[in-house]
Amino acid sequence: MPRVLVVDDHAENLYVLHALLTGHGWDVDEAQNGADALAKAQQFPPQLVISDLLMPVMDGYSLIRKWKADDRLKHIPFVVYTATYTDPQDEKLAMDMGADAFIVKPAEPEAFMHRINEVIHSDGTMLHAAVRQPVSDEKVQFKQYNEALVRKLEQKSVQLEQANIALARDIEQRKILEAEREKLRAQLSQAQKMESIGRLAGSIAHDFNNLISVILGYADAALTAVQETDPVHADLVEIRKAAQRSSAITHQLLMFARMRPGARQPINLNDVIDDMTAMLRQLIGRNIELAWSPGRDIGAVLMDPAHVTQILTNLCTNGRDAIMRDAAHATGKITIATNKMETVDVLRTWYGDMTPGKYICLSVSDTGCGMNQDTLSHLFEPFFTTKSIGKGTGLGLATIYGIIRQNSGFVNVSSEPGKGTKFELYFPLHENNRQ
């Protein structure tokens, strides 16, 4: 049986060739690289060698060169079977060095055997009179070989660069997704926190409200029982005042907890705000300019007008406080604007994602001190305040928040320390009552 030496550094390639060639009547010998093949062939020359090109220790090109320089081996046909070196120049170099055939991996078994049979029959008889020999001198071969290696190296570095770019893109993409997920997680936990604070505040406020009614009832009854000249009378008046203040606070808390729905009706925000500007100017004082920019044809929203008053009073008070935080005579500007948003796709707001639809945006911005991240993250919580004791209750924004949610609205806040603040409140357009 004729013997073939198969040279490849990949075990699976050796396995496939072994099975194929054995099936076609060849006795198969194997080698893992050029050096291994040369040693085996010199000891026990085969009738045919089939070799890979890219291999460790000694590659296929070096093996052809040494093969063709060896008097005992140079008449044995040399077939190149390669997956890496596949350019026409690679083939030319192999053929110039004396290879008898150049086959690109992977070849169909039938086509592969056909090419082998063009070189040598499986009974060992040669097809051609003589085996091919090197056509150029060693110096030229070395130069070409060197060029082939450089080419391969360049291709590899281009591939590596592309892989790197793809990898960088992947990493970037993953970072964006992670940030997005982190944001959604924060929004969800914020929403859950607000819901549970709301429930708690609601139940506490409810109980307090009942108790305060009792205190007020007794205070009123006691007041009718004592003379105004009685020193107890003044104390009772103070008790009643404190109870009334407490009652106001619990009403705000109930509002936050959405337990006191307002009287909703279709209203045009521009009309309501028009009526309020004089009062708001009074509220913020002469040093602060109030700009009012009503949007055109904004349509109607379904709201209690008293809620609009409450929202604007609270936001303008906050804006005024922010402008005057560091100096009592500081000047600045508060801008109120309305805007109809024909289509809002999905808008990421401070509180969850806004559902698509038509909205009216009411915005209030100020040129005040702005807020840091920490303040922003607690902004709407009841009793959260950065103002000194007696100056703020921390219920202003909690109340606004309750109103917004009660009216199926959303709120977005943008603020940076030293760069002012902008509140954007979105309320769904009341489609049936365009005005």
Ligand X SMILES: Nc1ncnc2c1ncn2[C@@H]1O[C@H](COP(=O)(O)OP(=O)(O)OP(=O)(O)O)[C@@H](O)[C@H]1O
228: which 2 tokens? 């105004």
Q: Which residues of 242-274 are buried (b: 16+ CB within 10 A; e: fewer)?
A: ebeebbebbbbbbbbbebeebeeeebbbbebbe
State which residue, 119 or 411, has the beta carbon closest to ligand X: 411
**Strand, helix or coil at 79?**
strand
Opening angle at CA 233, ends 227 and 237, nearest 5 = 135
Please say which residue, 299 or 396, places its beta carbon nearer to ligand X.
Answer: 396
Contacts (CB under 6 A) with ligand X, residues 405-424: 421
The kind and range of the H/E element at 309 are: helix 305-323
Among 122, 151, 394, 408, binds ligand X (CB under 6 A): 394
> Minimum Å distance from CB 373 to ligand X?
12
Residues 292-321: x/- map of binding to Mg ion (CB under 5 A)? --------------------------x---
Question: Contact letters (x/-) for ligand X, 342-381, by CB under 6 A?
Answer: ------------------------x-xxxx---x---x--
Q: Which residue has the tokens 């559902």?
A: 355
Q: Which stretch binds ligand X (CB under 6 A): 117-125, 128-136, 178-186, 396-404?
A: 396-404
Minimum CB separation of residue 261 from ligand X in Å reads 21
CA separation for the pair 291, 344 (Å, rounded): 26
Q: Is 322 in the site for ligand X (CB under 6 A)?
A: yes
Residue 299 backbone zone (phi > 0: left; psi -120 to 50: alpha; other: beta): left
Q: Left if phi > 0, otherwise alpha if psi is -120 to 50, otherwise beta: which for 383?
A: left
Nearest to 61 by CA among 92, 30, 17, 16: 92
- Closer to ligand X by CB, 148 or 280: give it: 280
If binding is defined by CB under 6 A, does position 384 make contact with ligand X? Answer: yes
How near is the Cβ of 178 to ligand X at its closest, in Å?
30
When asked if residue 395 is in the footprint of ligand X (CB under 6 A), the reply is yes
User: Which residue among 46, 319, 332, 409 contacts ligand X (CB under 6 A)?
Assistant: 319
Unique residue bearing structure tokens 């409200």: 209
396 is a contact residue toward Mg ion (CB under 5 A): yes
Q: Which residues bind Mg ion (CB under 5 A)?
A: 318, 396
Q: Which residues bind ligand X (CB under 6 A)?
A: 314, 318-319, 322, 366, 368-371, 375, 379, 384-387, 392-398, 421
